[in-house]
Amino acid sequence: MEAVTCLHGFSQRGESWRELSSLVPGDLRWLTPDIVATTPAEATSEILDLWERLGIRRSHLVGYSAGGRLALHLAVRRPERLLTLTVISAHAGYEGAARTARLEADEALARRIEREGIDWFADYWPSLPIFEGLARRRPDLLASLDAARRAQDPEHLAAALRGLGGASGEPFWDRLAAIGVPTLVIAGTEDPPYVEHARRLAGLIPSARTALVPGAAHVAHLENPRAVADLLASHLSIR
């Protein structure tokens, strides 16, 4: 049975993959860990250790947003451990002035999480414009996502933002050619910055293609899970 390892986004947990995994047919072993690490290197070790414990030599790898960057990070460093790669709403790091601005913004947010606490963050995070599509399309999911956020430790969440945020590490666009497995790069049509990121990723990864999901913005796999499940089912069968 082939394994599919799914890496969640910032402030989410592994349970956020439950709906998508239920919609993908086939005899697959779904691994949806809660990522504990707060740096890409630690997270890579965490995933490799999980595979070692479970006797998994190679796995399909799926990641969303911060989890998508982690998936790219792991794929660059250990491409031989992957069967396929899928990333949703991801990029390979901010650059230049955009990186400087994002580092400052993330540090300010991390400090506020530490100062104001988890309940403040749980109210603030879903109010960001990037998540408007999710709130509008899937109000049925908001309570479970909110509960997952409020269950987290604010100090750990702040550390994860500092260590795994989009600008936290050096950009690695120039290393994407090391990814040799079939790669699917997904973005919602209503998320223009990540549509551009998706096209850039697909242009730099040798065996990659872009798929744009209609009726979805940043959280495409939750906003339009059926469409993403259909794309993923087809991709996982590639040989």
Report how far apart the first and last C-alpha atoms of the chain are (Å, whole number): 15
With a CB cutoff of 8 Å and minimum separation 6, the contacts of 201 are 72, 87, 90, 91, 92, 176, 183, 185, 208, 210
One domain for residues 159 and 174? no
pLDDT digits (tens, 9 = 90+) for 98-155: 999 999 999 999 999 999 999 999 999 999 999 999 999 999 999 999 999 999 999 9
Residue carrying the six token digits 């965490």: 46
90 within 8 A of 69, measured Cβ to Cβ: yes
Pairing of strands 28-31, 2-7: parallel
One domain for residues 150 and 227? no
Q: Is 12 exposed, middle or buried (0-12, 13-18, 19+ CB in 10 A)?
A: buried
Pairing of strands 59-64, 82-88: parallel
Q: Which amino acid is at 141?
A: L
pLDDT digits (tens, 9 = 90+) for 19-40: 999 999 989 999 999 999 999 9
Judged against a pLDDT cut of 90, whether residue 238 lies above it is answered with no
Can you give the pTM of this predicted structure? 0.96
Domain total for the chain? 2
One domain for residues 229 and 124? no
What is the domain range of residue 129?
Answer: 96-163
Write down which residue in 142, 163, 184 finishes a domain. 163
